[in-house]
Amino acid sequence: MANEVLKQIFQELHSVIVTINPSSVMDALYSKKVISSDNYDNLRQFTAVKERCREMLSLLYRSSHPQAFIHLRLALLDEYSWIVDEIDQKLPSLTSQLQQLHLHLTDGKPVLCYCLI
């Protein structure tokens, strides 16, 4: 759930995020195995920083990694804390869209379900 929420926020802030230099972020994502060595090498071929960042974000939007955007947010902390601040400011407004939390019992085991409006 957290990764999907962050993914939505990153998409909302896409025009801001493409202004960063993604090199250090790519290193962090590679070390966490969010991007593969082939992805890393392909991204390094883009000489224009903005294009490299766009391609990195596009790759992450398509990624099935369950924590891709969590790791991206953490990678931005050192050099781009102001972007992380913007992301974090959007979290309350997004979570306020959660209409209600249901606790269902399935075979005697509790299952949490979040319902978005």
Topology, domain 2-116: Death Domain, Fas (1.10.533)
- What is the distance of C-alpha 55 from the center of its chain? 14
pLDDT tens per residue across span 57-92: 999 999 999 999 999 999 999 899 999 999 988 887
Would you kindly state where each structural domain of the chain is located, as residue ranges?
Answer: 2-116
CA nearest neighbour of 7 among 55, 82, 89, 66: 66
The DSSP annotation for 7-74 comes to HHHHHHTHHHHTTS--HHHHHHHHHTTSS-HHHHHHHHT--SHHHHHHHHHHHHHH---TTHHHHHHH
d(CA 77, CA 94): 21
d(CA 110, CA 117): 22
Would the pLDDT of 19 be above 50? yes
| pLDDT band (50, 70, 90) for residue 24 | confident
Q: What is the pLDDT of residue 2?
A: 84
Taking all residues of the chain, what is their mean pLDDT, rounded to a whole number?
83
